[in-house]
Structure 1
Amino acid sequence: MKKKILIVDDDPRNIFALKLTLKARGFRMETCTMAQEAIHILKNDPQIGLVLMDMMMPEMDGYEAVKIIRETPSISHVPVIAVTAQAMEEDRQKCIDAGAQEYVKKPIDVEELLTAIEKFA
């Protein structure tokens, strides 16, 4: 069985598109629109095996959320793929420095996303 993916994005259109794409490929998903909620879900759902984290969100951004995930022993092992419209090389490095294992830019290239997910499947 494929890993359950947590999609974190403040834009419902992005969540809808990701769910449609990933469901068609047999993935199970949980979604939320706030980074704080994502941390709560991760702590309470041990079936989550991967996080797709939007990096630009209000209140707590993805960078801060990934740092908290990495600093929380019970969830620090969960791989995080940063998903962002910030597409410069330094933006990729900023995501990796925050603790994300992989980086995918928006608009999302489905094959690029699936390749990133498969690294952790």
Structure 2
Amino acid sequence: MESGKKVLIIDDDSRNIYALRLVLRTRGIECLDVSNATLGLKLLEEENDVSVVLMDMMMPGVDGYEAMEIIRNTPGLEDLCIIAVTAQAMIGDREKCLAAGASAYVSKPIDIDVLLELLNEQISGEK
């Protein structure tokens, strides 16, 4: 992923946010982070240069599935890259996330190399 791109991390676990932010920032990627989907949706209204959202799927209140539906139905955000990040790694969970509006899916614990490859693919359009 190119340096200068902005990633929004939406996760209710501060340890996940810290680890992701640390890895991404060392690669020159600007990170914003919030602890719930409601704050993430508000931030997306204010920030118009977010390239990717890393969306935790299991959060209290508005979960990742509901947040993705809202994003996909918001004018100007319909095509925003959303990578579902979830501890759910059961058969069918990937398909469920993609059907709900995720651009891509990665399971926890996150393999950083896989995440960086996904970020590169999603931002550049290269496979």
| TM-superposed deviation, 1:47 | 1.2
Give the structure 1 partner of residue 20 of structure 2: 18
TM-score (structure 2 length as normaliser): 0.92
Q: CA RMSD in A?
A: 0.9
Contact 1:43–1:75 (8 Å) recurs in 2: no
Partners of 1:20 and 1:5 in 2: how far apart? Answer: 12
Write the letter of the residue equivalent to 1:27.
I
| TM-superposed deviation, 1:118 | 0.6
Identity %: 49
Q: Unaligned stretches of 5+ in structure 1?
A: none
| TM-superposed deviation, 1:3 | 1.5
TM-score (structure 1 length as normaliser): 0.96
How many residues in Structure 1 have an aligned counterpart in Structure 2? Answer: 121
Q: Which runs of 4+ in 1 moved over 3 A?
A: none
Partners of 1:75 and 1:39 in 2: how far apart? Answer: 10
| TM-superposed deviation, 1:119 | 1.2
Contact 1:43–1:74 (8 Å) recurs in 2: no
Q: Unaligned stretches of 5+ in structure 2?
A: none
